[in-house]
Structure 1
Amino acid sequence: MKPIPARIAAFRAKGAARFGVVTEAGIIDLTPDYGSRFAGLKEVIEAGALEEVIAAAEGRAPAFAEAEVEFLIPIADPEKLICIGVNFPDRNAEYKDGQAAPGRPSIFIRFARSFTGHRQALIRPPESPQLDYEGEVVIVIGKAGRRIAREDAYDHIAALTLCNEGTIRDWVRHAKFNVTQGKNWDGSGSIGPWLVPFRTADQLDDIALITRVNGEIRQQDRTSRMIYDFRYIVSYVSTFTTLVPGDMIVCGTPTGAGARFDPPVWLKPGDVIEVEAEGIGCLSNGVEDERC
């Protein structure tokens, strides 16, 4: 059995935002030790202190059970939250347009407000019932860079996490050249459950990525089959924008989203969606209608 990786989470407990290491026994709160230095995990990463903070939890007793906390997005205020579209071979075939995978990735931007944390409900708005799921791996930048060479790309990654890149499908088709409207509804997606420090290439190069809805596997693939691999993504994106610590890049979803069923199968209140990846964890969310 592989050892459980180090896991550090942002969460709310006793009325305050905190961060700490997640163990099988509970959460070791490191805010009393580091809260005066770091406002959150973005600042920890900016300081290059992720390993230091995690090591400080060694031998300490948990302060909270997981059930006692509200998990938050690991990086609450990234400068950039960049998403890569159509990044698995079967996903490209879903479009049924007869076109080969493009030579360069599709890219769009999401706002942090459009995401919620682990075990929080995704919000279905009254304007559309077409809330869909997309399970994805997220890389978190730890070292700033511009025009990063492919061979140096992994040196710029600090941590990994997961995303359910929830989408309001009919709203992505409101315009000809963008999907922004359907990708940025408040609380429509999730990121988490925690950060896992990135240490070796085998944490990314060929890991299983699975999405389940109510226990049924809907998406399943391996990162080795991505059209644009993680090294390419970091290199390509950094060509046009400077990547900085805390930036998050959501790296693409396999085939099997609800829109591709015949008829489509949309998420509804009561559903439970799990996004799981080897060595990272399992991000779980329910669904609720927006309270207007």
Structure 2
Amino acid sequence: MTRIATVQTDTGPLYGAVTDAGFVALSPDFPQWPTLREVIEADALNQVADAAQGRAPTHMVSEFRYLPPIPAPEKIICVGVNFPDRNAEYKDGSDQPKYMSLFPRFPRSFTGHDRPLIRPPENHTLDYEGEVAIVIGKGGRRIAAGDAYDHIAALTLANEGTIRDWVRHAKFNVTQGKNWDNSGALGPWLVPFTDAAQLDDARIVTRVNGEVRQDDTLNRMMFPIREEIAYISTFTTLVPGDIIITGTPTGAGARFDPPRYLKPGDVVEVTVDGIGTLRNTVEDEA
């Protein structure tokens, strides 16, 4: 499995390939593409991956830390309440909605793999949401659902961390509960999208301190990823590097009785076979 990541080193951020032995820095070989966003825009992700073949690691595991794979994407759009059981969790008697719920997240609200999610002092209802995230490769407007997969460059994972009390501050607006600095995570890396089965057969499992909290398959989504791309591109032009976070299964902490919110010391892991595991600890804001 090809794993292309953005990392922070003593000399600054780099992108390259993650191997079992460490990290192979590749960005110095491609100065025309300063970040993975430009790599994707040039449709060169596989070219970059090929450049890692046979190369020894340039950095051992202790010599880098993960950053979100795409720096400063133009858009991060999240799809809410996208599994049948998740809709039922709201206990409002509603049927499947006609249209999907969407909200934006800002890049600063995400940290990288193996970094702490930050619980703010203003409110301690920090919750987890394990999700698959897609990275747009070929941009477009009014993309047909049948063509949608042609517009995906890569896959990654998201923990769409949420301050639950703050999503209830207004009648219809969840944005302020979804955008606390470093409350969520993206990563660990990008896996090039090559086969529909990578999404159609994917299973999301979220664990907190080793306990399975979420477990479902993408083929049960109320709004499949093809439809997400088609619907979102109806009203906004998707561009290379845009991220769509596709929806979380039932089992978030807010839906337990009593709620089971994250606290300092917790470890959250989001796993999808064929993509990897996104792991984060939890800390209080300093």
Superposition TM-score tier, normalisation by shorter sequence = over 0.9
Q: For 1:241-292, what per-residue CA distance to the aligned partner results, in whole angstroms no more than 9, with x for missing partners?
A: 000000000000000000011100110110000001110000000011111x
Q: For 1:44-82, what per-residue CA distance to the aligned partner results, in whole angstroms no more than 9, with x for missing partners?
A: 001111000000000110111223211000011000000
Counting matched residue pairs gives 286
Correspondences of 1:148-167 after superposition (within 5 Å)? 148-167=143-162
**Distance in 1 between the 2:65 and 2:53 partners?**
23
| 1:27 paired to 2:23 | yes
Query: Following TM superposition, by how much is the alpha carbon of 1:187 offset from its aligned partner in structure 2, in angstroms?
Result: 0.4
| 1:271 paired to 2:258 | no
**Distance in 2 between the 1:65 and 1:257 partners?**
35
Please identify runs of 4+ aligned residues in structure 1 that moved more than 3 A: none
Q: 1:167 is aligned with what amino acid?
A: T
Q: 2:5 is aligned with what amino acid?
A: A
The residue number in structure 2 matching 1:39 is 34
The residue number in structure 1 matching 2:173 is 178
Query: Following TM superposition, by how much is the alpha carbon of 1:152 offset from its aligned partner in structure 2, in angstroms?
Result: 0.5
Correspondences of 1:113-128 after superposition (within 5 Å)? 113-128=108-123
Stretches of structure 1 that go unaligned for 5 or more consecutive residues are: none
Tell me which of 201, 204, 224 is aligned to 2:199: 204
Q: 1:187 is aligned with what amino acid?
A: N
TM superposition score normalised by structure 1: 0.97
CA RMSD of aligned residues (A): 0.7
**Distance in 2 between the 1:258 and 1:109 partners?**
21
Q: For 1:189-214, what per-residue CA distance to the aligned partner results, in whole angstroms no more than 9, with x for missing partners?
A: 00000000000100000211000000
Q: For 1:158-209, what per-residue CA distance to the aligned partner results, in whole angstroms no more than 9, with x for missing partners?
A: 0000000000000000001210110000000000000000001000002110
TM superposition score normalised by structure 2: 0.99
Stretches of structure 2 that go unaligned for 5 or more consecutive residues are: none
Q: 1:147 is aligned with what amino acid?
A: R
The residue number in structure 1 matching 2:223 is 228
Q: 1:25 is aligned with what amino acid?
A: A
How high is the sequence identity, in percent, across the aligned residues? 65
The residue number in structure 2 matching 1:190 is 185
Query: Following TM superposition, by how much is the alpha carbon of 1:24 offset from its aligned partner in structure 2, in angstroms?
Result: 1.2
SS at match of 1:204: helix
SS at match of 1:286: strand
The residue number in structure 2 matching 1:255 is 250
| 1:146 paired to 2:141 | yes
The residue number in structure 1 matching 2:209 is 214
Query: Following TM superposition, by how much is the alpha carbon of 1:104 offset from its aligned partner in structure 2, in angstroms?
Result: 1.0
Correspondences of 1:44-83 after superposition (within 5 Å)? 44-83=39-78
The residue number in structure 1 matching 2:278 is 283
Q: 1:11 is aligned with what amino acid?
A: V
Query: Following TM superposition, by how much is the alpha carbon of 1:233 offset from its aligned partner in structure 2, in angstroms?
Result: 0.6
Query: Following TM superposition, by how much is the alpha carbon of 1:117 offset from its aligned partner in structure 2, in angstroms?
Result: 0.3
**Distance in 2 between the 1:40 and 1:31 partners?**
7
| 1:106 paired to 2:113 | no
The residue number in structure 1 matching 2:12 is 16
SS at match of 1:123: strand
Q: For 1:9-29, what per-residue CA distance to the aligned partner results, in whole angstroms no more than 9, with x for missing partners?
A: 000112300001011111111
**Distance in 2 between the 1:197 and 1:147 partners?**
23
Query: Following TM superposition, by how much is the alpha carbon of 1:235 offset from its aligned partner in structure 2, in angstroms?
Result: 0.6
SS at match of 2:141: coil
**Distance in 2 between the 1:60 and 1:204 partners?**
30
